[in-house]
């Protein structure tokens, strides 16, 4: 047997880097597998190190390589393998949790928060990550209900909570309710007057329900409402304070009233029956509460919420019918407000229909402007379509959305090109302006040329649709400084000319007054011809 195979170096130790990389990629020799960490750290060739990190299982080593390797491709390969191992179910959860507890890479944590199979790992990643947008997204999309509720408790933006409640309205009733309750709590804590008034009206309605039903827990519920109201009463006006106090007093009176006495049996006396007077009930306070709620929420109601409020109103009206005179007036006010709101909904729906009908033509005009390279027109159309989308409150239809997205991408490309081209033109204008220094041109010629360059500069700003209130272009300071340097040597000339023209202006004014006096006194042709020569001489001096 030849001893040469025993003396030959293994493939992963060959001098040729390509052979080492191929061996590290395909071989499964135990010695090679044991040496993979050393190869990933210390091999001189980046391709070999990259092949090694793609086969590593050690999360800590992968984390080190994706940060500290000198080659960008190796770092990317290590990051890809690191994420793959973090998301693999075959890796022990305890090991992945240990690594995540010290991980500070936001992109890695975001990937784990979105794609890890275990809720505990997703929660751990979210705990270490500060991305409000991702928290809101996972609160809606995460498959684990407990994790969604935990995320909801971390969100303190009222607008985000309201969007979450609307998005999960049909899929997660519990989360919808919790999101709305938390948004209401945050509004109350921040002193939002609309929220506080709405809560005050809700307390009134609940107190009235307790008065009518006199449930077994009415006293404890009254104490809880009183405690809540004590924290809110300082933030409402005097009229609302009196209203709520009246509901509390009415409930206390109802709870303090003794129970009705048992009927007593007495001898039947044959006497004529007295006429029975029909009892007259008190005016119902629930209708007033509902009307106040409608008035408080009118600006924020949508069609669905208004329909729910109308349903509650009709239910209450059926319960207490027939209505008293003051209740009928309340009903008239309620119906007048609801009809006005429905009219507003119809008007907004009509406006949205008009916007939808005009969308195809506007997008076609945007595409035509892009094709023609009219950047300013395309930008104006894009802004108009963005406003239309905002007014609609919904995304465009799929086909229109694809066309609009493609056109916007082209507008952005043209804008970048125009910005680059404009910067080149501005640099050229600055070069021309700086070249005027020491050119020997007459001061008037310098001033005229400066005006031309300033006009070109303004045209560039107008072509890029730079508004008057936007900050100046970064190159503008350099342009203005060059203009000051060029015109500095001419300052004495223009100041002297201004002074001379001032003196001549006074002389001319005196001559004009003298000429008027001469015309009034002179009648001969000879005198008039002499005056004519004097006028010509003064005009000649004015041109110098």
The per-residue pLDDT for range 444-467, each reduced to its tens digit, is 888 888 888 889 888 877 777 655
Establish if 525 belongs to a structural domain: yes
Q: What is the pLDDT of residue 178?
A: 93
Q: Are 12 and 36 in contact (CB under 8 A)?
A: no
Which tens digit of pLDDT belongs to each residue from 160-189?
999 999 998 888 999 999 999 889 888 888
Establish if 454 belongs to a structural domain: yes
Which stretch of DSSP H or E encloses residue 441?
none
pLDDT of 214 higher than 80: no
DSSP state of 102: T
> Within 13 Å of residue 523, how many CA atoms lie on the same side as its CB?
0
| Distance between CA atoms of residues 489 and 441, nearest Å | 11
Is the domain of 426 the same as that of 453?
yes
Is the domain of 364 the same as that of 434?
yes
Q: For the chain, how many structural domains are there in total?
A: 2
pLDDT of 268 higher than 60: no
pLDDT of 266 higher than 60: no
Once rounded to an integer, what is the mean pLDDT over residues 429-447?
A: 82
Of 470, 544, 473, 480, nearest in space to 507 by CA: 544
3 state SS of 329: helix
Considering the chain, what percentage of its residues have pLDDT values greater than 70? 90
Which tens digit of pLDDT belongs to each residue from 327-340?
888 888 999 999 99
Whole-model pTM?
A: 0.45
325-372 vs 285-297: helix axis angle to the nearest 10?
20
**Predicted confidence band of residue 265 (pLDDT cuts 50, 70, 90):** very low
Of 402, 353, 349, 359, nearest in space to 384 by CA: 359
Once rounded to an integer, what is the mean pLDDT over residues 137-146?
A: 91
Give the end of a domain, one of 474, 489, 504.
489
Establish if 274 belongs to a structural domain: no
Distances in Å between the Cα of 437 and the Cα atoms of 241, 292, 440, 442 are 77, 75, 8, 12
pLDDT of 468 higher than 60: no
Is the domain of 379 the same as that of 457?
yes
Is the domain of 408 the same as that of 513?
no
DSSP state of 267: -
Q: What is the pLDDT of residue 279?
A: 47
Q: Give me the count of residues in the chain.
A: 544
Q: Which spans in 373-490 are helix H?
A: 375-392, 398-435, 443-463, 476-487
Is the domain of 463 the same as that of 390?
yes
Which tens digit of pLDDT belongs to each residue from 340-361?
999 888 988 888 888 988 989 9
| Distance between CA atoms of residues 170 and 159, nearest Å | 19
Is the domain of 397 the same as that of 455?
yes
Q: Are 407 and 367 in contact (CB under 8 A)?
A: yes
Which tens digit of pLDDT belongs to each residue from 2-50?
444 545 778 877 788 888 889 888 888 888 888 888 888 888 888 999 9
| Distance between CA atoms of residues 250 and 234, nearest Å | 21
30: left (phi over 0), alpha (psi -120 to 50) or beta: alpha
Once rounded to an integer, what is the mean pLDDT over residues 239-243?
A: 83
Establish if 190 belongs to a structural domain: no
Residue 370 belongs to what domain range? 355-489
pLDDT of 247 higher than 90: no
Is the domain of 407 the same as that of 458?
yes
Structure tokens given for 284 = 């119902």
Establish if 47 belongs to a structural domain: no
Q: Are 434 and 482 in contact (CB under 8 A)?
A: yes
Look-up of token digits 């996972």: 138
Q: What is the pLDDT of residue 260?
A: 52
Q: What is the pLDDT of residue 275?
A: 46
Is the domain of 430 the same as that of 502?
no
68 upstream amide cis, omega within 30 of 0 = no
Is the domain of 384 the same as that of 475?
yes
Q: Are 134 and 113 in contact (CB under 8 A)?
A: yes
DSSP state of 27: -
Q: What is the pLDDT of residue 393?
A: 75
Once rounded to an integer, what is the mean pLDDT over residues 365-394?
A: 85
Which tens digit of pLDDT belongs to each residue from 42-83?
888 889 999 998 988 888 889 889 888 888 899 999 999 999
Is the domain of 480 the same as that of 499?
no
pLDDT of 131 higher than 90: no
Distances in Å between the Cα of 324 and the Cα atoms of 19, 123, 281 are 98, 58, 9
Once rounded to an integer, what is the mean pLDDT over residues 500-527?
A: 71
Q: What is the pLDDT of residue 465?
A: 62
Least confident window among 120-134, 269-283, 521-535: 269-283
Is the domain of 478 the same as that of 513?
no
Give the end of a domain, one of 489, 508, 527.
489
Q: What is the pLDDT of residue 467?
A: 52
Q: Average pLDDT over the chain, rounded to whole?
A: 82
DSSP state of 266: -
3 state SS of 478: helix
pLDDT of 155 higher than 50: yes
Is the domain of 372 the same as that of 446?
yes
Of 64, 51, 121, 57, nearest in space to 85 by CA: 57
Sign of CA dihedral 201, 206, 209, 211: negative
Q: Are 289 and 296 in contact (CB under 8 A)?
A: no
Establish if 250 belongs to a structural domain: no
């Amino acid at each position: 047997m030849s001893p040469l195979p025993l003396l030959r170096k293994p493939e992963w130790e060959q001098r040729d880097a390509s052979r080492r990389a191929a061996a590290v990629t395909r071989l499964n020799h135990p010695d090679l597998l044991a040496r993979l960490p050393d190869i990933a750290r210390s091999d001189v060739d980046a391709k070999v190190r990259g092949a090694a990190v793609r086969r590593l299982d050690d999360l800590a080593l992968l984390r080190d390589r994706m940060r500290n390797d000198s080659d960008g491709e190796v770092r990317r390969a290590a990051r890809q393998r690191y994420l793959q191992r973090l998301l693999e179910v075959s890796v022990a959860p305890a090991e992945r949790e240990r690594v995540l507890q010290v991980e500070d890479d936001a992109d890695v944590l975001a990937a784990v928060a979105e794609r890890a199979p275990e809720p505990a790992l997703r929660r751990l990643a979210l705990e270490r990550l500060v991305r409000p947008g991702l928290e809101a997204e996972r609160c809606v999309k995460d498959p684990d209900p407990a994790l969604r509720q935990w995320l909801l408790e971390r969100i303190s933006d009222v607008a985000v909570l309201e969007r979450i409640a609307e998005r999960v309205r049909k899929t997660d009733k519990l989360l919808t309710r919790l999101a709305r309750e938390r948004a209401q709590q945050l509004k109350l804590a921040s002193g939002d007057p609309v929220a506080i008034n709405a809560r005050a009206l809700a307390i009134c309605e609940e107190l009235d329900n307790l008065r009518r039903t006199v449930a077994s827990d009415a006293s404890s519920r009254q104490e809880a409402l009183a405690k809540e109201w004590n924290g809110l009463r300082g933030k409402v006006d005097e009229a609302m304070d009196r209203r709520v106090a009246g509901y509390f007093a009415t409930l206390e009176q109802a709870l303090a009233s003794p129970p009705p006495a048992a009927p007593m049996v007495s001898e039947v006396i044959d006497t004529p029956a007295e006429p029975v007077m029909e009892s007259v009930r008190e005016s119902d306070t629930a209708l007033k509460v509902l009307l106040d709620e409608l008035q408080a929420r009118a600006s924020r109601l949508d069609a669905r919420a208004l329909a729910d409020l109308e349903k509650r109103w009709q239910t209450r009206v059926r319960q207490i019918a027939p209505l008293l005179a003051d209740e009928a007036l309340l009903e008239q006010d309620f119906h007048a407000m609801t009809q006005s709101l429905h009219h507003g909904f119809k008007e907004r729906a009509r406006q949205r229909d008009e916007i939808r009908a005009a969308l195809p033509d506007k997008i076609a005009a945007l595409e035509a402007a892009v094709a023609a390279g009219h950047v300013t027109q395309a930008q104006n159309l894009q802004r108009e379509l963005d406003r239309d989308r905002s007014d609609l409150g919904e995304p465009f239809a799929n086909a229109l959305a694809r066309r609009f997205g493609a056109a916007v991408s082209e507008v952005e490309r043209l804008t970048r090109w125009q910005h680059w081209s404009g910067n080149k033109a501005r640099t050229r204008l600055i070069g021309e302006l700086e070249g005027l220094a020491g050119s020997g041109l007459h001061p008037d010629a310098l001033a005229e040329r400066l005006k031309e360059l300033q006009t070109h500069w303004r045209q560039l700003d107008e072509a890029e649709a730079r508004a008057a209130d936007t900050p100046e272009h970064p190159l503008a300071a350099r342009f203005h400084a060059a203009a000051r340097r060029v015109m500095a040597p001419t300052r004495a000339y223009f100041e002297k000319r201004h002074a001379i023209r001032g003196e001549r202006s006074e002389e001319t004014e005196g001559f004009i007054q003298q000429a008027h006096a001469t015309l009034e006194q002179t009648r001969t042709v000879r005198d008039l011809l002499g005056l004519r020569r004097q006028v010509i001489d003064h005009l000649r001096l004015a041109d110098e």
